Chains A and B, each alone.
Chain A
Amino acid sequence: MRVAITSQGESLESRLDRRFGRAAFFVAVNTETGEFAVHDNTQNLNAAQGAGIQAGSNVVGLNVEALITGNVGPKAYAVLKAAGIRIYLAPDGTVAESLQRFKDGLLDECLSANVAGHWI
């Protein structure tokens, strides 16, 4: 299964980025093989608006089945849901720790936006 995790850095030991739209990086991991690839999200980090939507669209492009992150707003949620990507909310920790919690079934699935949208 392919999973995307929002990350503050470019390795599995980096901290999970609790922001979704303005996460620094997305780490896409294949849970069977352990292979991973890092995708830069700097462009969205500086977006004036629509960061969640664009990040959602980018994650859709990573061909993952699930996303692990800290918070998801309404517009990002709408994009991810439309693309059938399941969202799991993780507490603080590293990317590897978050992935392990996911594998152990310890993360709650996010069934609606868990934070409010930003002004426009």
Chain B
Amino acid sequence: MKIAVASGKGGTGKTTVAVNLSLFLVDADLKVTYADCDVEEPDGHLFLKPEITLKHRSAVLVPQVNPEACNLCGECGAFCRYSAIVVLKEEVMTFPELCHSCGGCAYVCSVQAITEVDRYIGSVDRGSAGKLNFISGCLDIGQAMGPPLIKAVLRNITDDGITIVDAPPGTSCPAMTAVGDCDYLLLVAEPTPFGRHDLELMLQAVGSLPMPRGVVLNRVSGPDTAIEKLCSRYGVPILSRIPEDRRVAEAYSKGLTAWKAVPGYKALFADLWSKIEPVAGRYTA
């Protein structure tokens, strides 16, 4: 069972919820994997402090052109919708950072002048934090394309227990790649105008995805009627309200988990899980 923790806006508490939910489930003697798919800035490891036992580099395929074989026909350049390969009068230029690794250029080349070669974009770490399985992807500095590495992280989930996917923020390709095949989508939002706005973007972005979903409001300190109305308009339940609490921020700043630092958190996550589990379980079945 895969639960994705996502949000439209950054900084709403995805990692806080994902890490604490993971720890709660482990404490309940369940088999759990925490998968950090926020590959541009993974931070789950700061709180879980895992022991990394396996680290591997992750690559995408990009075209390499053999100028001896190339007849400059231009088919590859015409095929590529990302302008990652351009045929000029006397040479073919490639822009690997724009390539989406579809292999189309090599496929349409009639003289086999294109070979697909590895281009390393980041690494995937595996390990454990106590009984919790830990997987995390990290893009190399300067790399801009997260989805291939996010897919590599998701491929590494071999466990048949519960996986908590910590998704990247936003509503674009990286976020969609991370949540696309989950069994339950947990959206973390903050009750601010900005938070409400970006939650709506996310509800729209995932509108056509089939899995059940629910919202956790984080850092709640007052009434939140605007966000309640929004959720009811989209037919998405608000599962939990995590109160604004300075002790959580203080623990966070020290790399500690709210789970350990603040009394009452266990009950909060127990309640949250009791609402997710039956719905996600029915969907998986």
B-contacting residues of A (Cβ < 8 Å)?
A: 47-51, 53-54, 56-57, 60, 75, 78-79, 82-83, 119-120
Note all chain A residues with C-beta closer than 8 A to B95. Answer: 50, 53, 75
Interface members, chain B 206-235 (any A CB < 8 Å) = none
B46 interface residue, CB < 8 Å from A?
Answer: no
Inter-chain contact B93/A79, CB cutoff 8 Å? yes
Interface residues of B in 29-82 (CB under 8 A from A): 77, 82
Collect the chain B residues with CB atoms within 8 Å of residue A54's CB: 83, 86
- The total number of A-B Cβ pairs within 8 Å is 41
14 other contacts beyond A57-B87, A82-B93, with CB at 8 A cut-off? A47-B83, A48-B82, A49-B98, A50-B95, A50-B98, A53-B93, A53-B98, A57-B86, A78-B93, A79-B86, A79-B88, A79-B93, A82-B91, A83-B89
Inter-chain CA distance A54–B78, complex, in Å, is: 10
**A75: chain B residues within 8 A (beta carbon):** 95
CA distance A82 to B86 in the complex (A): 11
- Leading 8 A-B pairs by shortest Cβ distance: A50-B83, A53-B83, A120-B144, A54-B83, A57-B86, A83-B88, A50-B98, A50-B82
Flag whether B108 is at the interface (Cβ < 8 A): no
Q: How far is the CA of A53 from the CA of B87 in the complex (A)?
A: 11
Residues of B within 8 A of A (CB): 77, 82-84, 86-89, 91, 93, 95, 97-98, 144-145
**B78: nearest residue on chain A (CB-CB)?**
A57
Contact of A120 (CB < 8 Å), options: B77, B87, B91, B145: B145
Q: Considering the chains assembled together, what is the distance between the CA atoms of A49 and B99 in angstroms?
A: 11
Contacts of A56 in B (CB 8 A): 86
A-B contact pairs, 6 of them (CB 8 A): A48-B82, A50-B98, A53-B93, A57-B77, A57-B86, A83-B89
CA separation between A56 and B86, bound complex, in Å?
A: 9
Question: In this complex, which of B83, B95, B97, B145 has the most chain A Cβ atoms within 10 angstroms of its Cβ?
Answer: B83
Beta-carbon contact of B83 and A120 below 8 Å: no
Residues of A contacting B: mostly: helix
Do A49 and B89 touch (CB < 8 A)?
A: no
Q: By the criterion CB–CB under 8 Å, are B145 and A49 in contact?
A: no
A57 engages B88 (CB within 8 Å): yes
Q: Which of B82, B86, B93 has the most CB of A within 10 A?
A: B86
Q: How far is the CA of A56 from the CA of B84 in the complex (A)?
A: 13
B residues in contact with A119, CB < 8 Å: 144
A45 nearest CB across to chain B (Å)? 14
Which of chain A's residues have a CB closer than 8 A to the CB of B87?
57
A60 B84 Cβ-Cβ under 8 A: no
CB contacts (< 8 Å) of A120 on chain B: these are 97-98, 144-145
What is the minimal beta-carbon distance from A61 to any residue of chain B, in angstroms? 9
Taking the nearest CB of chain B, how far is it from the CB of A60, in angstroms?
6
Residues of B within 8 A of A82 (CB): 88, 91, 93
Using Cβ atoms and an 8 Å threshold, which residues of chain A touch B88?
57, 60, 79, 82-83
Bound-complex Cα distance A89 to B272 (A) = 60
**Which chain B residues lie closer than 8 Å to A48 at the CB level?**
82
B86 cross-chain contacts in A, Cβ below 8 A: 53-54, 56-57, 79
Bound-state CA distance A48–B82 (Å) is 8
**Across the interface, do A49 and B93 meet the contact criterion of CB distance under 8 Å?**
no
Q: Find the B residue at minimum CB distance from A85.
A: B88
CB distance from A66 to the nearest CB of B (A): 16
Q: Nearest chain-A residue to B143 (Cβ)?
A: A120
Given contacts A120-B144, A120-B145, contact A49 B91 (CB under 8 A): no
Specify which chain B residues have a CB less than 8 angstroms from the CB of A83 in the assembled complex.
88-89
Q: Which residue of A lies closest to B100 (CB)?
A: A49
Chain B residue nearest to A119 (CB atoms) is B144
